[in-house]
Amino acid sequence: QPQLQESGPGLVKPSETLSLSCTVSGDSITTTRSFWGWIRQPPGKGLEWLGTIYYSGITDYNSALKSRVTISRDTSKNQFSLMLTSVTAADTAVYYCARLTSEVTNWGPARYYFNFWGPGTLVTVSS
Amino acid sequence: QSVLTQPPSVSAAPGQRVTISCSGSSSNIGNNYVSWYQQLPGTAPKLLIYDNNKRPSGIPDRFSGSKSGTSATLGITGLQTGDEAAYYCGAWDSTLSVAVFGGGTKLTVL
């Protein structure tokens, strides 16, 4: 099974950009039909899906974040990354990366679940 | 406010059985597969159930999932103190085009 590890600054100033990376071992982010995502959890609260990058490089985002999110990848490092712009205190959360299963079609029930998770990294937005 | 609705907390004694409900709509649970996650204190969530009622390798059969209409249920039998955790349901929402989660249920084993 894959191992995932988040990394990046633990403190970001308001209005700046949050940048995190997820390093994957034991699997390749380009493995056919593999999907890799970011989820966050504010302190004491529930989970929020941020977005997914497909094995092909296609990305899919949570529209609720209003285009502040960008997910990219570096296949040479087997890493994928998250950028969240114009952060506020509401973006303070533990950020998780995960490998997921995604089967969303127009003709059958959708499968969308997160098989393996990184340990998470706390990002605090504060001046 | 979460798209999927779970009770904030449940409790039961060791050895007993407990169920956790997850209520949604036709755009998520009603027409898509449900998953469940266990989050032990201070750790990342772990996949417990997928495709409504399937268990990944290594998950004991004390954990079970079911779905009826726009609701899903997680069942845990033979409760152990190590089962104390937050449990989350999840699904794809076809109308919002978003992966959605419940607000989480904290299980206390008395």
What's the CA gap between B101 and B79, in Å, rounded?
Answer: 24
% pLDDT > 90, chain B? 97
A55 to chain B, any CB pair closer than 8 A? The answer is: no
The 3-state secondary structure of chain A, one letter per residue? CCEEEEECCCEECCCCCEEEEEEEECCCCCCCCCEEEEEEECCCCCCEEEEEEECCCCEEECHHHCCCEEEEEECCCCEEEEEECCCCHHHCEEEEEEEEEEECCCCCCCEEEEEEECCCEEEEECC
Chain-centroid distance of CA A55 in Å reads: 14
Min Cα separation B6/chain A (Å)? 11
Cα dihedral B52, A45, A64, A119 sign: negative
pLDDT at residue A118 in the model: 98
pLDDT value of residue B1: 82
Taking only the tens place, the pLDDT of each residue in B14-52 is 999 999 999 999 999 999 999 999 999 999 999 999 999
Closest CA to A118 of A56, A45, A54, A26: A26
Q: From A4, which residue of chain B is nearest by alpha-carbon distance?
A: B44
A104 min Cα distance to partner chain B (Å): 8
B92/A110 CB distance under 8 A: yes
Q: How far apart are CA A22 and CA A79, in angstroms?
A: 5
* Average of per-residue pLDDT across B69-97: 97
Spatial distance between the Cα atoms of B67 and A109, rounded to a whole number of angstroms: 13
Q: pLDDT by residue (tens digit) across A93-125? A: 999 999 999 999 888 899 999 999 999 999 999
How far away is chain B from the Cα of A16, in angstroms, using its nearest Cα? Answer: 25
pLDDT tens digits in sequence order for chain A, 127 residues long: 899 999 999 999 999 999 999 999 999 999 998 999 999 999 999 999 999 999 999 999 999 997 899 999 999 999 999 999 999 999 999 999 999 999 998 888 999 999 999 999 999 999 9
User: pLDDT value at position A30?
Assistant: 95
Confirm or reject contact between A120 and chain B (CB < 8 A): yes
**Residue B64 to residues A74, A82, B20: CA-CA distances in angstroms?**
38, 34, 11
CB within 8 Å: B92 and A49: no
Contact B98 A46 (CB under 8 A): no
